[in-house]
Structure 1
Amino acid sequence: MSPRRSVVAHVKNTYLNPTETFIYERIKHIKRFKGYILADKVKYRARFPFPRIYNLRKVGNVPRFLKRKKTAVIHAYFGSTAVRILPYKLKTNIPMITSFHGKDVSKKLREKKYRRKLRSVFRHSALVLTVSHHMKRKLVRLHCPPGKIRVVKTGIDLGKFPFRRPKPPGKGAKATFLSIGRLVPKKGMDILVKAFALVHRKYPNTRLIIVGKGSEASRLKKLVRRRGLKSSVRFEGMLSHRGVRRMLRKAHIFVLASRTAKDGDQEGLPNTLVEAMASGLPVVTTNHSAIPELVRHNKTGYVARQGDTKDLARKMKKMLRTKKKWRAMASKARSVVVREHNIRAQVRKVERLYRRVARSG
């Protein structure tokens, strides 16, 4: 592969939703290939700056544009993006890599047309990347050739999330639970609020902070009022990445109550959990999707049954009772993140795959 061909087209239907920092971190850290963005919609450009961003609808002849850019690899983020770019890819000899992240192998599968088109995506993708072994098994069940699938974990910049030994609240101080995520059904924020109500009944000197925005916001605030928790639950709305890091430093325990939504929507591997574990926060979460691959119950956190309010409340209470375990649990959790979710190590994997695919293309 000659240097002039060392170009990757990062294709995304929308560049970039606020919760997709994990995609930006990967693109930003790729150094051995020159990259550019190709997207139907461009949002939050100031939040996710990149020097070369092009509107897919405005570039004219897309196959000609790809060739003019001397594109060596097309990397489509999400199955729906791969479906969108595939007709153009087929008019070139440029190999394509497709990444799957969550909704594209859960909720989207209810669309027959999408399922049908996935067969072509699998057939014409040189490689298929996924963030977990759980998702790899789902792709195999969808008839993606196992030999094409590579598990590449989500990565974070460890320098931005320095480890701090967990410090239980002092005598008389409030214990703060923190949850970060979109206010949508699969995040289980309603389950969390109900579980916190049970925790607060026994431990009144606790509070819950929820960071994020979404369609469930008004319903969740009503639920908080009905449970008499208005003075103990705070909604922070959407924060910048710097604001998220600040909240992680202030909290005592991180909680994520992910579950499968009624429409089938599921998580991939929540990056907020990775960031909390990297920061030294003890975590309580659920056995949803690939989360057990990240959080080992009783070792790096406590894992409750998804959708089970009482079990989540039990695990939250257990975390409050077992403060002496926090330091050892948090140290093991940080080790998992360093070993499996270092953005630089994960990006090197991706670059090796780019090189391999470009040479064979």
Structure 2
Amino acid sequence: MSAKKSEDTAAIGRNGKPKPTVAVFRSDWLPASETFIRYQLANMKNWNPVSIGLGRVQSPLALDTDQLAMPEAANGGTRRRIFQATRRSRRLAGLVQRSNASVVHAHFGTNGVLIRPVARRLQLPLVVTFHGVDTSTVYHEKGLWGWLYRTRLEEIFKKDVQLIAVSESIKRTLIQIGASKSRVSVIYNGVIATTAADLVGSRHGVLFVGRLVEKKGVDDLLNAMALLPEGTELTVVGTGPLEKYLTDLAKALAINCKFTGSLANQEVRKLMRSAEVVCVPSRVGRDGDVEGLPTVILEAGAEGTPVVATSHGGNAEAIVDGVTGLLVAERDVRGLADAVLTLMKAGVADPSNANRIAAHVSREFDISKQTAKVEELYERVVEVTVPKFFSDAGSNPSTSHSSGS
């Protein structure tokens, strides 16, 4: 196939029409914990995604193709603070304009309120995905920035902005804080399915994957491991502000625990495939932080690995209790230990069990199916037959923005 023919084929969606463009906004591209965003972009079939943001973080998920308005100001800087206060940036508006996007999609409510003025000035519809922290910790934050976020969120709720919740739990919260039920769609974060042949193999030990922060409940898991038979192996993948506290706790409990730090997604999936049980002991943090629906539950299931999780956030939406895993109450250390031991004794290495768990995830949370729902939402918010060019969009960011940032 010639290069020209290949490019033409790539420009056509599975619906046979030219692909329109979606500008996907995230302030920083991209924290290692947010594989779900890359999954979604990589699996778009009818739309051409362009990743646009302010800065870049050190992460295996950061790509050179990410288009950044303030690459020198990741996670800080005067220009960024000015933008956060004014929401005006010629550079950012210019990136969105030059992308020829027909719709803007922001991940996290915090980013949705930032990009809304740009989308409005360019007369583009806006879609915002809420993941959990944006309806809990950040929403209830005290002080000026908390008040400003809530005020800006009210603007989004009142305007014709389409909202995506990654779990029914988040949808309920969005409605409670003012969103219209008719404009909230539940679309789960999807994962890549695993072939049956890859599910065969020996399994041992317990695995945790996630950021080492309070809401993840890792200290509950460490205390639970101390109640299991001596020598039971636990592997903890991830980093975070509680890392030293947790490593010290593991030593004090004298448990067989290995901390690996952050790992590439393919390495994480390999560990999941060889684990007997994956644990997700989430809980509400003291700052009110909650989970949306942890992707780790779906990834573990895709690898045929049962999950022990707390009945927290959207966890119960991803687990068929007693079939694909077990649910326990938040902060129930004894219940967590008993559930892990139950699954370890149940012979989870049996290929039939692994295949049943993987089939459930493939049926309900396959990345292609979930991404197709996102693309269908784009179609509903803007009627597109060919890519929309910004020469027809109206406002010119070079004249409509007073800020030079």
Q: Which runs of 4+ in 1 moved over 6 A?
A: none
Aligned residues: 348
Q: Which one of the candidate residues 275, 294, 304 is aligned to 1:251?
A: 275
Are 2:244 and 1:218 equivalent residues in the alignment? Answer: yes
Are 2:132 and 1:106 equivalent residues in the alignment? Answer: no
Q: CA deviation at 1:157?
A: 1.7
Cα distance in 2 for partners of 1:151, 1:22 equals 15
Post-superposition Cα deviations, 1:194-220, rounded to whole Å, max 9, x if no partner, equal: 000011xxx124111111111111000
Query: Partner amino acid for 2:267?
Result: G
Q: CA RMSD in A?
A: 2.5
Q: CA deviation at 1:351?
A: 1.2
Post-superposition Cα deviations, 1:177-207, rounded to whole Å, max 9, x if no partner, equal: 11111111111100000000011xxx12411
Q: CA deviation at 1:140?
A: 0.9
Cα distance in 2 for partners of 1:166, 1:305 equals 31
Q: Which one of the candidate residues 85, 90, 96 is aligned to 1:60?
A: 90
Cα distance in 2 for partners of 1:166, 1:264 equals 40
TM-score of the aligned structures, taking structure 2 as reference length: 0.80
Change (3 A) 1:105 1:13: same
Q: CA deviation at 1:330?
A: 3.6
Change (3 A) 1:276 1:115: same
Is this contact kept in 2: 1:100–1:128, CA < 8 A?
yes
Which stretch shows the higher mean deviation, 117-126 or 281-290?
A: 117-126
Q: CA deviation at 1:129?
A: 0.6
| Equivalent residue number for residue 28 of structure 1 | 42
Q: CA deviation at 1:116?
A: 2.1
Are 2:385 and 1:354 equivalent residues in the alignment? Answer: no
| Equivalent residue number for residue 17 of structure 1 | 31
Is this contact kept in 2: 1:166–1:252, CA < 8 A?
no
Cα distance in 2 for partners of 1:324, 1:74 equals 43
Are 2:234 and 1:208 equivalent residues in the alignment? Answer: yes
Is this contact kept in 1: 2:106–2:129, CA < 8 A?
yes
Are 2:190 and 1:155 equivalent residues in the alignment? Answer: yes
| Equivalent residue number for residue 136 of structure 1 | 171
Per the alignment, in what secondary structure is the counterpart of residue 25 of structure 2? strand
| Equivalent residue number for residue 320 of structure 2 | 296
Q: Which one of the candidate residues 110, 124, 140 is aligned to 1:80?
A: 110
Are 2:100 and 1:70 equivalent residues in the alignment? Answer: yes
Is this contact kept in 1: 2:107–2:129, CA < 8 A?
yes
Cα distance in 1 for partners of 2:374, 2:190 equals 11
Cα distance in 2 for partners of 1:159, 1:125 equals 38
Identity %: 28
Which stretch shows the higher mean deviation, 111-120 or 305-314?
A: 111-120
Are 2:150 and 1:115 equivalent residues in the alignment? Answer: yes
| Equivalent residue number for residue 85 of structure 2 | none
Cα distance in 1 for partners of 2:294, 2:131 equals 10
Is this contact kept in 2: 1:77–1:100, CA < 8 A?
yes
Q: CA deviation at 1:113?
A: 2.6
| Equivalent residue number for residue 277 of structure 1 | 301
Cα distance in 1 for partners of 2:249, 2:59 equals 35
Change (3 A) 1:324 1:30: closer
Is this contact kept in 2: 1:282–1:301, CA < 8 A?
yes
Is this contact kept in 2: 1:166–1:280, CA < 8 A?
no
Is this contact kept in 2: 1:96–1:124, CA < 8 A?
no
Are 2:333 and 1:309 equivalent residues in the alignment? Answer: yes
Is this contact kept in 1: 2:281–2:309, CA < 8 A?
yes
Cα distance in 1 for partners of 2:95, 2:307 equals 46
Cα distance in 2 for partners of 1:160, 1:43 equals 33
Cα distance in 2 for partners of 1:14, 1:31 equals 24
Query: Partner amino acid for 2:137?
Result: K
Cα distance in 1 for partners of 2:205, 2:56 equals 36
Per the alignment, in what secondary structure is the counterpart of residue 268 of structure 1? coil
- Gap runs ≥5 in structure 2: 1-16, 73-88, 141-145, 385-392, 394-405
| Equivalent residue number for residue 172 of structure 1 | none
Per the alignment, in what secondary structure is the counterpart of residue 42 of structure 2? helix
Q: CA deviation at 1:163?
A: 5.2
| Equivalent residue number for residue 194 of structure 1 | 223
Query: Partner amino acid for 2:65?
Result: P
Cα distance in 1 for partners of 2:236, 2:282 equals 14
Is this contact kept in 2: 1:287–1:304, CA < 8 A?
yes
Which stretch shows the higher mean deviation, 268-277 or 240-249?
A: 240-249
Is this contact kept in 1: 2:136–2:289, CA < 8 A?
yes
Cα distance in 2 for partners of 1:227, 1:46 equals 33
Query: Partner amino acid for 2:339?
Result: K
Q: CA deviation at 1:91?
A: 1.7
Cα distance in 2 for partners of 1:256, 1:119 equals 33
Is this contact kept in 2: 1:132–1:152, CA < 8 A?
yes
Q: CA deviation at 1:8?
A: 0.9
- Gap runs ≥5 in structure 1: 169-174
Q: CA deviation at 1:54?
A: 2.9
Post-superposition Cα deviations, 1:63-122, rounded to whole Å, max 9, x if no partner, equal: 455334322101011000011112222222110001000100111111233222211122
